[in-house]
Amino acid sequence: MDLGLKDKAYIVTGATRGLGLASARELVADGARVLVSGRTRQAVDTAVAGLETLGTAHGLVADNADPDTPERLIAEARHRFGRLDGILISVGGPQAGPVETTPEEAWRDAFESVFLGALRLARATAAALPDGGVIAFVLSSSVRQPIPGLGISNGLRPGLAMAAKALADELGPRGIRVLGLLPARIDTDRVRELDGLAADPDAARAQATASIPLGRYGTPEEFGKVAAFLLSPAASYLTGIMVPVDGGALRGL
């Protein structure tokens, strides 16, 4: 199936590793032009070098928590590509720890990047998108059920998902779609780091695997393909939804 991505232009934040990079890779491989962002020059340059073997990609050093980031990214995308068709807002996972003992400073820092930074990006992009544009958030399965030991994610992700749902209602009349992706146990550096916090990392991974109906962790490539589809014109009648990419791990409908 042709997703209609050829020559479309997207911004993918937090795209120097993990799910953001995997999503950018699938978009570029299918003909889209992508501007990726990350917090260090080395990471951005490395990501762009890999993406350029597949198609058209550029990079910009930017932090989602910086209030200037949205306008910088939008201006760069328009300069490079002459258009902007959508954004995938991906941020690194917040500090691990239970709700009870995670320091207030960690909550405040995460709010700036995970919540307010993402919302700022979405609002600025909405003002720049044409009819047919799309805004997608990389969230977490914590939107639907809490993840032990990830208090900040459990607290912030559901609120951002509801803001995305409300934004879909607001932007729908303009033909702009808004949606979210809910990854669970995808085999990224972040998830391996979280498994490594357990007293017995191998046992923690085995226990998590046993809770997944497909019996394995997902791959970043599998997530990236779902993201590319949802951002594409082929998904033009999908908005206001949260799409689990979890191997069946979430127990609710």
Domain spans of the chain, in order of start:
9-186+223-242
**Which tokens go with 97?**
């720890």
pLDDT at residue number 193: 84
- Rounded Cα distance, 66 and 91, in Å: 13
Taking Cα atoms as reference points, which of 187, 204, 186 lies closest to residue 196?
A: 204
Taking Cα atoms as reference points, which of 64, 144, 181, 53 lies closest to residue 112?
A: 64
pLDDT at residue number 191: 87
Which tens digit of pLDDT belongs to each residue from 222-234? 999 999 999 999 9
CATH for 9-186+223-242 (3.90.79.10, 3.30.70.141, 3.40.309.10, 3.40.50.720): 3.40.50.720
Per-residue pLDDT band for 198 (boundaries 50, 70, 90) equals: confident
Which tens digit of pLDDT belongs to each residue from 5-30? 999 999 999 999 999 999 999 999 99
- Rounded Cα distance, 222 and 247, in Å: 10
Q: Is 0.75 topped by the overall pTM?
A: yes
Average pLDDT value for residue range 77-88: 98
Tell me the residue type at 87. I
In the three-class reduction of DSSP (H, G, I as helix; E, B as strand; rest coil), residue 23 is classed as: helix
Neighbours of 236 (CB within 10 A): 12
**Which tokens go with 86?**
């959508």
Would the pLDDT of 68 be above 90?
Answer: yes
Q: What percent of the chain has pLDDT over 70?
A: 100
